[in-house]
Structure 1
Amino acid sequence: MSAARGLRAVAWTAGAGGALTAAWLGLVTGAVPLDVGVGRRMRPLGPQTVDIAALRETVFDVVAHPYLGRTPRAMGEKLKVLERGSDLVLAEHYTPIAGGRLRAVTVETVRFTRPERIDFRLVRGPVPHVTESFVLEETGAGTRLVYLGELGTDLWRLGQWWGEAVAARWEATVATSLASVKSEAERRAAPRR
């Protein structure tokens, strides 16, 4: 009898461990979003500011083109536009995680207000709420791109802990994107030789 109990305990533990692992992977990758609306905690994202030696219209076009135009093949591993309108798209964004062994998928609406702002709103992802904006301001030397946002999680302190972990990765990904936008906009603005 005790051997049978021992086997049941091992089976139950393995099953529970497998279920927890599957739930964790679903949450981390955004495949199983958790949005219970209880104990919501909000935290800011950013601000991150980048000064770009290019006209505001050029910077706007660099950000908007993969969404509103044809998405370059090189961005296929990062972005897939699911639905495209004249000033609003629904897009999947892909972010490698766990050293590239996994991929987090977020689905967001992206709204374009030419030439001064681009707004993102999370539809599905590893947290229940994210809103973000790229605000483009003209400066004497070009354009200042300011990134601002907020991230919300549920379940009080547990959600707050999860939000901090997600926000660190989220903001690092945004910083990489902003550096890429700066590089491409300045390349386009550089005088032709």
Structure 2
Amino acid sequence: MVWFGALAAAAVTGGSVAAGYLGLVTGALPLDVGAGRRTRLLGPQIIDVAAPRELVFDVIAQPYLGRASRAMRAKVRVLERGSDMVLAAHRTPVAGGRLTATTVETVRFTRPERVDFRLVRGPVPTVTESFTLTEHGSGTQLVYEGELATDLWRPGQWWGDVVAPRWEATVATSLAAVREEAERRSSLP
């Protein structure tokens, strides 16, 4: 019978570790203890967009301030809206699409040159990011930069090393979509 107790304890421990991991990955169990905080830079990612700055800004702001397309409604849900800021839940597929991570962020708009994001709930304690738009010839240069922070010293740093590349890849996909949509709208008569 001793083996049964050991087996049960191992199952409970394994289940707790798995649940904790799933909670962290999906953003359902945020960990923000404020001890051993480590920060790392995100970006910069720089793209040139063959469209006017105002139009690029409008494409970025559309899912938050305007009427979002069906595809964007599946990814972004505005929870609260103000005149220059929203609180939004962002859904991102993770683990090969088997799971969905949900982050909650404030998004602040400074027309037409800047959009700032601040993580409220997610897989790490804090992320701050910005999209800066500058006129560049007849188009726009969009620069993404940010900072990601984790807690708990080396284990947290390891977690940041896991999260950051995936975070930046998600941003790169978003930037490509912004460029494509802005250039498409810019070419319309």
What residue is the counterpart of 2:99 in the other structure?
102
Contact (CA 8 Å) 1:116, 1:137: kept in 2 or not? yes
What residue is the counterpart of 1:69 in the other structure?
66
**Could you tell me which amino acid in structure 1 is paired with residue 164 of structure 2?**
A
Q: Deviations over 1:105-159 (max 9, x none)?
A: 0000000000000000000000001000000001113100000000000011110
Deviation beyond 2 Å, 4+ runs, structure 1: none
Structure 2 residue 112 is the aligned partner of structure 1 residue 115: yes
Following the alignment from structure 2 to structure 1, what is the Cα–Cα distance between the partners of residues 29 and 158? Answer: 18
Give me the TM-score of the superposition, normalised by structure 1.
Answer: 0.96
Following the alignment from structure 1 to structure 2, what is the Cα–Cα distance between the partners of residues 140 and 101? Answer: 43
Q: Deviations over 1:15-62 (max 9, x none)?
A: 110111101100110000000000000000000000001100000000
Cα-Cα RMSD:
0.7
Following the alignment from structure 1 to structure 2, what is the Cα–Cα distance between the partners of residues 6 and 165? Answer: 36
SS at 2:74's partner residue? Answer: coil
**Could you tell me which amino acid in structure 1 is paired with residue 110 of structure 2?**
T
Match of 2:6 among 4, 9, 19: 9
Superposition deviation, residue 75 in structure 1: 1.2
Superposition deviation, residue 191 in structure 1: 4.5
Structure 1 portions without partners, runs of 5+: none
Following the alignment from structure 2 to structure 1, what is the Cα–Cα distance between the partners of residues 178 and 73? Answer: 17
Contact (CA 8 Å) 1:68, 1:85: kept in 2 or not? no
Superposition deviation, residue 6 in structure 1: 0.8
Contact (CA 8 Å) 2:127, 2:147: kept in 1 or not? yes
Following the alignment from structure 2 to structure 1, what is the Cα–Cα distance between the partners of residues 111 and 61? Answer: 9
**Could you tell me which amino acid in structure 1 is paired with residue 154 of structure 2?**
R
% identity of equivalent residues: 69
**Could you tell me which amino acid in structure 2 is paired with residue 70 of structure 1?**
R
Contact (CA 8 Å) 1:45, 1:167: kept in 2 or not? yes
Contact (CA 8 Å) 2:43, 2:146: kept in 1 or not? yes
Structure 2 residue 129 is the aligned partner of structure 1 residue 132: yes
Following the alignment from structure 2 to structure 1, what is the Cα–Cα distance between the partners of residues 2 and 56? Answer: 66
Match of 1:22 among 16, 19, 23: 19
**Could you tell me which amino acid in structure 2 is paired with residue 171 of structure 1?**
E
Following the alignment from structure 1 to structure 2, what is the Cα–Cα distance between the partners of residues 79 and 165? Answer: 23
What residue is the counterpart of 2:166 in the other structure?
169
| Deviates most, 73-82 or 143-152 | 73-82
**Could you tell me which amino acid in structure 2 is paired with residue 94 of structure 1?**
R
